[in-house]
Amino acid sequence: MSSMKIAVTGSTGLIGTELVRSLRADGHEVLRLVRRGADAPDEVAWDPARQYVDAAGLTGCEAVVHLAGAGVADHRWTDAYKKQIRDSRVLGTAALAEALASLDTPPKVLVSGSAVGYYGDTGSRAVDESAPPGDGFLPSVCVEWEEAAGPAEEAGIRTVFARTGLVVSRRGGAWAKLIPLFRAGLGGRLGSGRQYMSFIALHDEVAALRFLLDTESLSGPVNLTAPEPVTNREVTEAMSRVLHRPALLPVPGAALRVALGEAAGDVLAGQRVVPAALLAAGFRYAFPSVEAALRAA
């Protein structure tokens, strides 16, 4: 794609950091939305909690990638933290969508973050982008999160909802917590081990986000997951092989509920999510298997 001016929220997060590096390496101009004062030429001020965006700072942007949101697995789900998880996504998305819609020349595309949490617990049933939302806290957050981008869609901006799975990286997310446990020989399946995990290598996540920016035929929900979801038991066996460590100690569901509280329900839930839209559009994965994704990490 030719050089573009692209704005990114969540640019200091796991995915955002790698996306900004990748875009700049290919000659794109990247503006980063920051929650403190904008001090550098590549920064634009915003405050998702107060629903403020310096819209003038976004003038001339041809694309926006919106990745900001409080980490789902960063803290126990107290009522206050659940509110933070929701508000950081819903209020931030609404403010950004309204700011983009207000511009004289809006960007051509908004790639707005979402998550496979939209589908809830699907058990062993495979679901693609046509599936309805599940029940529970995370599905309800995802529904509101996506709906909040309405002003951008109404302004004619091609809007894509990147429903991301579990990103495989040692630098952040769920896998950053798992890899040290396995290295220490303390890894094991979670609960029954039969629950499906819809993963994606960090390299493929960034490549898929860039594919969404480029592919004008894609809009609405797009699952960013590897083509073959695997069970937690298969993940455990792959981790054991890649790290050359035994994985003998299953973590009982009851222990997870004590350690994680309400979030344990999502850890023990299964999501067998298939990236039908990406595959149909011709996206190619560099690390399609869980073993390849783990080796890359």
Q: Do 168 and 199 contact (CB within 8 A), yes or no?
A: yes
Q: Crossing angle for the helix pair 202-214 and 14-25, nearest 10 degrees?
A: 60
pLDDT at position 255, please? 55
Domain range spanning residue 84?
A: 5-296
Give CA separation, 124 vs 22, 190, 193, 194, 250, in Å.
35, 16, 12, 8, 20
> Among 30, 162, 47, 42, which Cα is nearest to 99's?
47
Q: Retrieve residue 238's tokens.
A: 């792959």
Tokens of 148: 């909040």
Q: Measured between alpha carbons, how far is 3 from 28 in angstroms, rounded to an integer?
A: 5
| Domain total in the chain | 1
CB 6 within 8 A of CB 28: yes
User: What residue has token string 């973050």?
Assistant: 113
Whichever domain contains 142, its CATH number is 3.40.50.720
Q: 261 has which bridge partners?
A: none
Residue 26 confidence (pLDDT) above 80 = yes
Q: Would you say 17 and 29 are in contact if contact means Cβ atoms under 8 Å apart?
A: no
249-280 pLDDT, tens digit per residue, is 666 555 556 555 665 565 556 889 999 999 99
Give the pair of three-digit tokens for residue 263: 């979030």
Mean pLDDT taken over the chain: 89
User: For position 252, what pLDDT does the model report?
Assistant: 59
* Alpha-carbon distances of 147 from 128, 242, 268, rounded to whole Å: 19, 40, 27
Q: What are phi and psi of 275, to 5 degrees?
A: -85, 65
Between 245 and 286, the more confident residue is 286
Three-state DSSP at 52 gives strand
pLDDT digit string, tens, across residues 37-63: 778 889 999 999 898 999 999 999 999
The pTM score is: 0.92
DSSP states of 207-257 as a string? HHHHHHHH-TT--EEEEES-SS-EEHHHHHHHHHHHHT------B-HHHHH
